[in-house]
Amino acid sequence: MDYAATTPVDPRVVEAMLPYFTEKFGNSASLHSVGQEAEAVLESCRRKVAKLLGARPSEIFFTSGGTESDNMALKGIALANKNRGKHIITSQIEHHAVLHPAEWLEKQGFRVTYLPVDKYGMVDPASVERTISEDTILVSIMHANNEIGTIEPIEEIGKICRKGGVYFHTDAVQSVGKIPVSLKHIDILSSSGHKIYGPKGVGIIFIKEGTKIEPIIHGGGHEHGMHSGTENIAGIVGYTKALELCIKEMKPETKKLLKFRKRLIEEIDKIPDCWLNGHPEKRLPGNVHFCFRFIEGESLILLLDQKGIEASTGSACSSKSLKPSHVLTAIGLKPEEAHGSLRLTMGRFTTQEDVERVIKVLPGIVERLRKISPLGK
Ligand code: PLP
């Protein structure tokens, strides 16, 4: 129940990767045949990923994952376009892999607007349009939110950006491979392997041809100078196979997840004093996100874990202060409401049995915690 955090590597992906750890271990920069074999497989992966996403091979660059791709997008665009403008637009509910680079850029003299969202976590495209000024160089709005699963209107936002002559980046780490993604109105996109049944530490950045962007990692000039460092061929083969399987199996997988999501939402909704967060329909098929009054998310997670159910909560508990999730406060929850959050995220290997198990144990755990809660009730 924590597939949004990470996914197991699909056995078919492991099988595809294995030869690249042993007999096919070459460095793609070497001139000999073992190196050239690595180079050939690297370029074949690039072509496959490009075809799967609807891009040109020259627009796909392999990276170490979502965080790095997001950093490359924000810092790379800022560095290359600072003479044109110093304003960046993003939203209040982005992943920290976008928010923290944005905050860092503020320290370097850039101005960043963090757009608010509505109660479902939706960015209003009209607010993007209103905020774009002469000085704006980049808009970065995620495709699907990692906590509450809301799917953002990126097509409309992309069109607005293109009309305004502003680059549009989307963090699609939670959406690529799970829902259809069109690159038509996107200039830069981030994706990560470990969210799509591929290995950790590998991802891609799509950069539309003609985009003015600076690399942030310099060295041997790999990935056409955009990302120096010996390529992680096994990881790249894994990412490619994982993406291929996700796209091939998206329809039946989505159907299964929508059925599970509906069942979970209907049943959890029967528990008193709780509510669903995120958009009721425009949300990731495998995402269920509730808040329960009068309890703390951490206790909920620990008790669920004792029952063999791994889930997640949005609040981060430190010894002195309880810091609620920035996503939940952005959708208008009070800190005390945000504390009792539970994220259940399902995926390829989730079974009906798993779903029924949550439905069976969750009400009792919530009741037990409320009895001992100092938070009221
Ligand atoms: N962006 C989003 C929306 C995510 O959910 C994550 C992972 O949690 C990341 C970025 C970071 O990706 P990675 O773990 O590959 O660095």
Beta-strand ranges (E) seen in the chain are 60-63, 87-91, 111-115, 136-140, 167-171, 188-192, 203-207, 274-276, 287-292, 316-317, 322-323, 341-345
Give the pLDDT mean for 65-81.
98
**How many CB atoms lie under 10 A from the CB of residue 367?**
12
User: Do the domain assignments include residue 3?
Assistant: no
Q: Is the minimum distance from the CB of 170 to ligand 1 under 6 angstroms?
A: no
The whole-number pLDDT of residue 317 equals 52
The alpha carbon of 174 and the centre of ligand 1 are apart by a number of angstroms equal to: 7
User: Do the domain assignments include residue 272?
Assistant: yes
Which is the closest atom of ligand 1 to the Cα of 194?
15
Tell me the pLDDT tens digit for each residue of 31-44.
999 989 999 999 99
* Contact in structure between 215 and 72 (CB atoms under 8 Å): yes
93 and 240 together in one domain: yes
Give the pLDDT mean for 147-170.
98
Domain that holds residue 259: 250-371
Q: What are φ and ψ of residue 100, in 5° steps?
A: -70, -40
- From 248, 272, 298, give the residue that closes a domain: 248
Q: For residue 321, is pLDDT > 70?
A: no
- From 227, 248, 269, give the residue that closes a domain: 248
Tell me the pLDDT tens digit for each residue of 279-313.
999 999 999 999 999 999 999 999 999 999 999 99
Q: What is the pTM of this model?
A: 0.97
Residue 319 pLDDT class (50, 70, 90 cuts): very low
201 and 293 together in one domain: no
- From 248, 281, 297, give the residue that closes a domain: 248
The whole-number pLDDT of residue 318 equals 47
Q: What CATH number did the domain enclosing 233 receive?
A: 3.40.640.10
Q: For residue 315, is pLDDT > 90?
A: no
The whole-number pLDDT of residue 374 equals 74
Residue 212 pLDDT class (50, 70, 90 cuts): very high
Sign for the pseudo-dihedral over CA of 14, 15, 21, 27: negative
22 and 107 together in one domain: yes
- Mean pLDDT across the chain, nearest whole number? 95
Distance CA 6, CA 43 (A): 27
Q: What CATH number did the domain enclosing 364 receive?
A: 3.90.1150.10
Report the residue among 192, 200, 243 best suited for mutation to probe ligand 1: largest number of ligand atoms under 8 A from its CB.
192
Q: Is the minimum distance from the CB of 181 to ligand 1 under 6 angstroms?
A: no
220 and 279 together in one domain: no
User: Do the domain assignments include residue 350?
Assistant: yes
Q: Looking at the 3D structure of the chain, how many domains does it have? A: 2
* Contact in structure between 105 and 87 (CB atoms under 8 Å): no
> Of 161, 246, 291, 317, which is the active-site residue?
317
98 and 189 together in one domain: yes
302 and 353 together in one domain: yes
Give the pLDDT mean for 24-30.
90
Q: Which residues are 345's β-sheet partners?
A: 2, 287
Give yes or no: 246 in active site.
no
User: Do the domain assignments include residue 376?
Assistant: no
Per the structure block, which two tokens stand in for 357? 């198990």
**How many CB atoms lie under 10 A from the CB of residue 127?**
17
